[in-house]
Structure 1
Amino acid sequence: MKFKIVAIIVGIILLIPGCISQNKNGENIGDTGSLNWYSYIDGINEVNKTGKPAILFFCTFNDNSESYSQSFCELVEDKLFSNGTVKSMLKKFILIKVDVYDRSQEWILSKYRFMYTPFPLVVFLNGEGEELSRLVAYGIYDPSDGSKSVERFIEVLNLTLKGEVKGEDFRFVTLSGEEKHLDEYRNRVVLLDLMSVNCPACRKEMEYLLGVKNHYGNDSSIAIISIDVAGDTVNSIKSAYGDYIGKWTFGVDKYGEASKYLLESAVPTIVIIDKLGRIFYLRAGVLSMQNLIELIESAKDE
C-alpha cells in the first residue's frame, strides 16, 4: 500500500508542467514557470534559426547560495519576470540564462563584457544577435519602486521588438540650477562620476578625472559629468571641489534618478555610457586615469 501511495505521488509530480525546466541538452536550469529558458548556445542557435530577438539573463542560479546577488536574482524573477504583462511579452523572445558562477561560461561573460558590470545583468539582442540595450542591477528592478521598474522593462521590451535601442536617461541639476537630461549627451561617450563631499576616495578620483579631461582637451565626443548623490549642498560641493568645477559638468541628483546606478550606496561609482546611451562600464571604486582612458577608448569603438 505504501508503495502505491509513493508511486502515485511521484507520478503526480512528474505530470506537473513547468516546475524544473531543461534545455535541449537535458540540463536543469532552474524553476522557470511557464517561461522557456535556453542555455546560451542553444538559445543563440534558436535566434539564428528563427530571427527572433533574445534576452540574456546573467545571474547566479545556485540554490545553495545565500548571497546578496543571489537574493537580487530571485527578486528579479519573482517580482519582474512573473508580472503578467512582462511574462506575456517575454514569450516573444528567445530567453537565455547565463550562470555567472559557471566556469564553463567564462567565454560568454567576456563576450558581453560582464567583468565591467555587476549582476544581475539583462542584455537585449535583436534578431541578428546584436546587442541593442542592457539593464544592470537596480536598473532592472528597484524594490523601492517596483511598478516603475515594470514600466521601464516593458518599454525596453517594446523597443527591442522594434529593433530599437533604449538609451540610459535621468534628470539632474547643475550647480547653477539648470535641469539637464542624460539623453542630451547622445553621440558622445559619457564618463559619469557619482560622488559625495565627505568621501576621500571621491577626492582621489577627481585627480584622475582631471587627468582624463587634460588628455582629451576640447574633444566634443567625450563628456565628463560629476554628480553628487549624497544630498550635499551646492556650497559644500563648491567648497570641496572648487579646483575642478568649471573644467567639466558638476551637478546634484535632485530627483534621485542617478542613484539607480549606485551599488549598495558606494561612492565613487563610475559609469561609462557609449554613444548610443548604453551602459559600457559600471563599477564602484576608484579608477586611475589610464584605466579610465582605456575604457573610454573601448566605448568609442562600440
Structure 2
Amino acid sequence: MKLIKKNILNILFLTLLLAIVLVPDAKAFFIRGLMTIGFYKPDLEHPISTSSNLEGIKFKDIKGNVIDLGDLKGKVIFINFWATWCPPCRAEMPSLHKLYAQFKNDKNVVFIFVDADDDLKKSAKFMADRQYGLPLYGFASEIPKQIFESALPTTVIFDRQGRLSFRHEGIANYNDQKFVDFINKLKSTK
C-alpha cells in the first residue's frame, strides 16, 4: 500500500503524458493552453512581399464549386492548410474561427480552409461537430511549393495585388489584435 501511495503522483503524471501524446484532442487542448499564455504568435515583424501568379491555383468546396485564386485579385486571400488528424491544426482552429468571424461579412477578405487530406466529408463532419462555420475546400489543381509544401498547419495570405504577404508553417494564434491589424492594413493597401 505504501508503494502505491508513493507512486500515485508518478502514475497520474505518466497517464497525463500518455494522453497528451496519444489523444489528438488532448494534445490540441495542451497546445491551445500554450497559445493563450503567449506562445505561438505569428511572425508579423518580417512580412513577405513577393509577387505570385495566382492564375490556375484552384480549390473546390464540398459541393464541387471551384474557386480560382486568379479570380480573387483585389481581395485579401487567407488560406490555411490543415488536417483533422493534426493536433496543432486542431489547437489553432478556435483562433482561426474567431478571426474568420471578424471578417466573414467583409467582401474584401476571402478565407479558404484547405483539408490537406482532401477528405471533405470527414472535414465537414469535424467542422460541424465543433460548430466551426469555416469555408472548407479541397485541392482542385497543383499548388506551388512556395505556397504549400507539406507542413501542417500552413497559413498563407495574399494581398489585394496577389502578392504573397505572409507565410507561416506551424501553429499560431490568429486571434491576436496585431494579426487583425495586419489584415486590415492589407485591405487598405492598394
TM range (shorter): 0.5 to 0.7
TM-superposed deviation, 1:171: 0.9
Q: Distance in 1 between matches of 2:146 and 2:83?
A: 15
- Count residues in correspondence: 143
1:248/1:259 Cα in 2 relative to 1: closer, same or farther (>3 Å)? farther
TM norm structure 1: 0.42
Which of the pair has the greater relative contact order for Cα pairs under 8 Å at 6+ separation? 2
What is the correspondence of 1:1-302 to structure 2 with a 5 Å cutoff? 115-117=46-48, 134=51, 166-167=53-54, 169-231=56-118, 233-242=119-128, 243=130, 247-257=133-143, 261-263=147-149, 265-288=150-173, 289-290=175-176, 291-302=178-189
Q: Distance in 2 between matches of 1:201 and 1:114?
A: 22
CA displacement 1:13-67 (0-9 Å, x = unmatched): xxxxxxxxxxxxxxxxxxxxxxxxxxxxxxxxxxxxxxxxxxxxxxxxxxxxxxx
Supply the AA of the counterpart residue of 1:253: F
* Percent identity of paired positions between Structure 1 and Structure 2: 20
CA displacement 1:216-271 (0-9 Å, x = unmatched): 3411111111011233x2221112222456x34211114332665225x2111110
Equivalent pair of 1:229/1:258 in contact (CA under 8 Å): no
Supply the AA of the counterpart residue of 1:250: L
- In structure 2, what is the equivalent of residue 48 of structure 1? none
1:217/1:262 Cα in 2 relative to 1: closer, same or farther (>3 Å)? closer
- In structure 2, what is the equivalent of residue 33 of structure 1? none
Equivalent pair of 2:55/2:71 in contact (CA under 8 Å): no
Q: Distance in 2 between matches of 1:270 and 1:280?
A: 11
1:134/1:184 Cα in 2 relative to 1: closer, same or farther (>3 Å)? closer
Supply the AA of the counterpart residue of 1:206: M
Task: Look at both structures and tell me which one has the larger radius of gyration over its CA atoms.
Answer: 1
CA displacement 1:168-187 (0-9 Å, x = unmatched): 65011111111221122221
Please, which runs of 5 or more residues in structure 2 have no aligned partner?
Answer: 1-43
TM-superposed deviation, 1:192: 0.7
* RMSD of equivalent CA atoms: 2.6
- Structure 2 counterpart SS, 1:220: coil
CA displacement 1:123-160 (0-9 Å, x = unmatched): 7xxxxxxxxx535xxxxxxxxxxxxxxxxxxxxxxxxx
CA displacement 1:62-87 (0-9 Å, x = unmatched): xxxxxxxxxxxxxxxxxxxxxxxxxx
1:227/1:196 Cα in 2 relative to 1: closer, same or farther (>3 Å)? same
Q: Distance in 2 between matches of 1:259 and 1:176?
A: 26
Q: Distance in 2 between matches of 1:175 and 1:292?
A: 29
1:300/1:168 Cα in 2 relative to 1: closer, same or farther (>3 Å)? farther
TM-superposed deviation, 1:272: 0.7
TM norm structure 2: 0.64
Please, which runs of 5 or more residues in structure 1 have no aligned partner?
Answer: 1-112, 118-122, 124-132, 136-165
1:261/1:207 Cα in 2 relative to 1: closer, same or farther (>3 Å)? same
1:298/1:180 Cα in 2 relative to 1: closer, same or farther (>3 Å)? same
Supply the AA of the counterpart residue of 1:261: I
